[in-house]
Structure 1
Amino acid sequence: MPEKIDSSPSYPGRRPIDVLAPAETSSPVIFASPHSGRDYPGELLRNSRLDRHALRQSEDSYVDLLFDEAPRMGSPLLRALFPRAFVDVNRSRQELDPRMFTDNVPKSSDTRSSRVIAGLGVIPRIVADGQDIYGRKLYFMDAKRRLSACYDPYHKALRGLVDEARARFGCAILIDCHSMPSAGGAPFREGEPPIDFVLGDRFGSSCSPEIVRLAEDVLTGFGYQVTRNAPYAGGYVAASYGRPRTGVHALQIEINRALYLDERRITRTEAFEVLRENMIVLMRKLTEFDAADLCVAQAAE
């Protein structure tokens, strides 16, 4: 029988999430950072074949700090404090990789999704550069504890923020904040500049085009190269929360890490503050978006 790895309680005594709330909520916009958590539990560090630095390759490093002025704009910021290598909340709860476990996963598991096959399910098997996280298999109980301790609180909080915004403003606008490796921003054609931002609206299905256009106009106004839905169209959060016909809009924003990060050392560069100031402008423009216009657009559909 394979040696059982450390099974001490996941995230004991730790807060899995943080909500930076405004003194007064004045906008239906919600900002979320699901992949910038930097609080690595001992369970993961002891059981991984990788060191902390290698595990951090999967982080959307410091994205939460790019958007932490959201409360000043009258909007909350939800951020996961646990790392993506431990639990990935931008996946379905059912996206479990049976190759990772000594015992069977539930029959309801989505074991054939493209993300699971790639090793990037809700409990990731690999880090971003393709290295295996574990040298031996987990027991499913390990995954179950992690989901209860981290995944469920994140989505409970996110659903609560969305419901509150809809009740107060008649709609909710979720901005799902991510970063991408600079390699992911490689130009599609030789001679073109690298991609700085990718706006993902699931090819128009998760978000009002007016919101996407506003974000695109602000970013291109700064001189950034912006694409829509390529190479990232939006993940589980955009797909499952974005329901424009019910008044819930979800837009995924991917930021090229070369704009603010030394990717090898995983440290912020001097350009971080410039980008942060630009994100403050973007947040201000998004939170000033006229929700009444959005409701008119929905009624016309």
Structure 2
Amino acid sequence: MQAMLTHIPGRTPLVLDSPHSGTVYPEDFRSALALPVLRRAEDTHVEKLYAFAPGLGVGWVEAHFPRIYLDANRDTTELDETLLDAPWPDPVTTDPVVLQKVRLGKGLVWKFTDEGEPIYDRRLAVEEVRARIERCWRPYHAAVAAEIDAAHARHGYSIHINCHSMPAVAASHATLHPGLHHADFVIGDRDGTTADPALSRVVCDFLRARGYRVDYNHPYKGVELVRRYGDPARHRHGIQIEINRKLYMDEQTLEILPEGFARLQRDLQALVELLLAIDPRG
């Protein structure tokens, strides 16, 4: 079986991960939808945008499995039990905010696309979902946690950048603000709970100085990966970066726009180099 992730250890305090750019669709997925429809859920080409990172000594973790199959940026409790052919024996969330996303079909295992299309024409077996968790979710989180721990042990602090992309306009069945025209970047730290807001401001200010329109904690604050591993009081900073896809790709064909991609990658590398020069402990 093809490896479900790439993990390249780093030597710096910085760790990057891309949980949603995977394009390996497992045979057991058995979706009712065609591949071009499924691919709309990908953070397509994000791993290519940050391809420079390992060469700078930055720790890198990348999912190969697609988010629409198993979303590594959700907790294992965020499961829609109506997807299953039998009762789920493990804990499920009772958080009303999280439940809203789950009921919209965007939990650990997606039920609907962002356009509201049902992904399956069948119920999933409990063991089928458990197998996805064991094969995809647990190894991915283990790799991210290990890389952050190693960075922190080496330097006394860590900066984790959770790398994403977003459509130019939120789809009709998006979990947050359908129809919203997104900024060029959205920087999220869960309202300052996963990273020192001063560090997040450095990121925002840098991108604005490069000519980008940047929103902070709206509409995306960051989800499970920064929530789980960000702890600024212990010098563990987690920031989610969302990039507008229109900057670097054709959203219909998924083809890279060479000029936009090259500019964006240069600016992202400059941002990473800036973060490598910062000690957020002051």
Taking structure 1 as the reference length, the TM-score comes to 0.86
Aligned-partner Cα distance in 2 for 1:126–1:175? 28
Does residue 139 (structure 1) correspond to residue 125 (structure 2)? The answer is yes
Provide, for residues 86-128 of structure 1, a one-character-per-residue CA deviation record: whole Å limited to 9, x for no partner. Answer: 1101000111111101100125122662221111111111223
Which one of the candidate residues 137, 157, 164 is aligned to 1:178? Answer: 164
Larger C-alpha radius of gyration, 1 or 2?
A: 1
Does residue 251 (structure 1) correspond to residue 235 (structure 2)? The answer is no
Aligned-partner Cα distance in 2 for 1:72–1:274? 19
Shift of 1:194: 5.4
Aligned-partner Cα distance in 2 for 1:140–1:70? 38
Shift of 1:20: 2.9
Percent of aligned positions with the same letter in both sequences? 35
Aligned-partner Cα distance in 2 for 1:129–1:160? 36
Equivalent pairs, count: 269
**CA RMSD, Structure 1 to Structure 2 (Å):** 1.6
Corresponding residue for residue 54 of structure 1? 37
Q: Pick which of 219-228 and 68-77 moved more.
A: 68-77
- Any unmatched runs of 5+ in structure 2? 172-180
Aligned-partner Cα distance in 2 for 1:20–1:252? 20
Aligned-partner Cα distance in 2 for 1:75–1:287? 9
Corresponding residue for residue 169 of structure 1? 155
Q: Give yes or no for contact 1:57–1:129 (8 Å, CA) kept in 2.
A: no
Which one of the candidate residues 270, 274, 291 is aligned to 2:263? Answer: 274
Does residue 228 (structure 1) correspond to residue 200 (structure 2)? The answer is no
Aligned-partner Cα distance in 1 for 2:226–2:219? 15
| Secondary structure, aligned partner of 1:254 | strand
Does residue 217 (structure 1) correspond to residue 205 (structure 2)? The answer is yes
Which one of the candidate residues 72, 75, 79 is aligned to 1:96? Answer: 79
Aligned-partner Cα distance in 1 for 2:103–2:130? 20
Aligned-partner Cα distance in 2 for 1:74–1:89? 24
Provide, for residues 132-169 of structure 1, a one-character-per-residue CA deviation record: whole Å limited to 9, x for no partner. Answer: 11011111111000000000000000110111111111
Aligned-partner Cα distance in 1 for 2:23–2:200? 29
| Secondary structure, aligned partner of 1:178 | strand
Map of 1:2-21 to 2, 5 A cutoff? 13-21=1-9
Taking structure 2 as the reference length, the TM-score comes to 0.91
Aligned-partner Cα distance in 2 for 1:194–1:147? 31
Q: Return structure 1 stretches of 4+ with deviation > 6 angstroms.
A: none
Which one of the candidate residues 57, 60, 72 is aligned to 2:55? Answer: 72
Q: Pick which of 99-108 and 30-39 moved more.
A: 99-108
- Any unmatched runs of 5+ in structure 1? 1-12, 186-192, 297-301
